[in-house]
Amino acid sequence: MTQTLPFITTVMPCYNGERYLEKALNAFFAQGYPHKKLVVVDGKSSDRSHEIIASFVERGFPMVWDKTPDKGISNAINIGLAHLNEGDIFGYLGADDILMPNILSEVANLFAIAPKLDGVYFDSYSYLCEKNVMTYRECPMVDFSLNNLLKLGTIVGLQNIYLQGSYVVSNKFVEENKYSMDYELYLRLAKKGMTKFTHIPKASTVNFMDGNISSRFAMEGGFETIKYAIQHVGYVPVLWGKVYQLKRAQIRRRIVALIQRVRF
């Protein structure tokens, strides 16, 4: 029986991403898999990003440049979702995410063999630019279940997972979410029983980490993660450990207040 290979649509929000954008675009279009499209959402950049994007459009690469000004990263992804067709596989890349060779072919073949899979996800590399160090980030070897999401937090970054596009279009990203948009989406999918995911133990991307992530970014991301866990599932004891991993006292107090409102 002939297997039908799926179309893969990848959404890339960009805002002043000139430093690594050209590398990211070249890596995507170097993929040998033919049934693909990249949707770049950028209506606000003030650096050379628009010039770089335009050069790829002019050369006829399979891409869409949506110039709608976004209201943040989650809104930008939702803008990009308008360009998915029924039956597409959804992927995501940041403007500083470099796709490894032949990843799209591997994704397509897995979905062709097992079209009822909910998703496929990979490990990744992080390149710490200031230290000139490449680290391997291995996903935990656990089931993609609601319990494990609560226990571990997000299991995989959004740039390293491919999902049935219909799931994402019907469960759009919460636009107030600035840091944990992937985790919040995973919680909703898991609650609906969409947990048939396959982990491929190899890296699909290299993420350029240029500069230190601020402690505020890390703390606010932790707060969002726990906030959405409570919102979707309610208070569960495993969350307490995550609360006290957060070193900033005012963030802990905000989370404790959330938990108390749920419990009492």
223 assigned to some structural domain: yes
Q: Are residues 166 and 224 in the same domain?
A: no
Q: Does residue 252 surpass a pLDDT of 60? A: no
Q: Does residue 38 surpass a pLDDT of 90? A: yes
Q: Does residue 122 surpass a pLDDT of 70? A: yes
Q: Are residues 84 and 29 in the same domain?
A: yes
2 assigned to some structural domain: no
Number of domains in the chain: 2
Q: Are residues 166 and 258 in the same domain?
A: no
Q: Are residues 202 and 125 in the same domain?
A: yes
* Tokens 């029983």 sit on residue: 193
* Residue 238 pLDDT class (50, 70, 90 cuts): low
CB 81 within 8 A of CB 184: no
**How does pLDDT run across 158-179, given as a tens digit for each residue?**
999 999 999 999 999 999 988 8
Q: What is the mean pLDDT of the chain?
A: 88
Q: Are residues 129 and 256 in the same domain?
A: no
Q: Which residue has the higher pLDDT, 246 or 224?
A: 224
CATH classification of the domain holding 71: 3.90.550.10
- 3-state secondary structure at position 17: coil
Helices (H), 64-214: 73-81, 103-113, 146-152, 165-170, 181-191
32 assigned to some structural domain: yes
Residue-number span of the structural domain to which 256 is assigned: 215-263
Minimum mean pLDDT among 78-92, 187-201, 243-257: which range? 243-257
Exposed, middle or buried, 86 (CB in 10 Å: 0-12/13-18/19+)? exposed
Q: HEC states along 193-234?
A: CCCCEEEEEEEEEEEEECCCCCHHHHHHHHHHHHHHHHHHHC
* Residue 215 pLDDT class (50, 70, 90 cuts): very low
> If residue 162 lies in a helix (H) or strand (E), which one and from where to where?
strand 161-164
Q: Average pLDDT, stretch 85-114?
A: 97
Q: Average pLDDT, stretch 210-232?
A: 67
85 assigned to some structural domain: yes
- Which of 189, 209, 229 terminates a domain? The answer is 209
* Residue 219 pLDDT class (50, 70, 90 cuts): low
What separation, in Å, do the N-terminal and C-terminal C-alpha atoms of the chain show?
Answer: 58
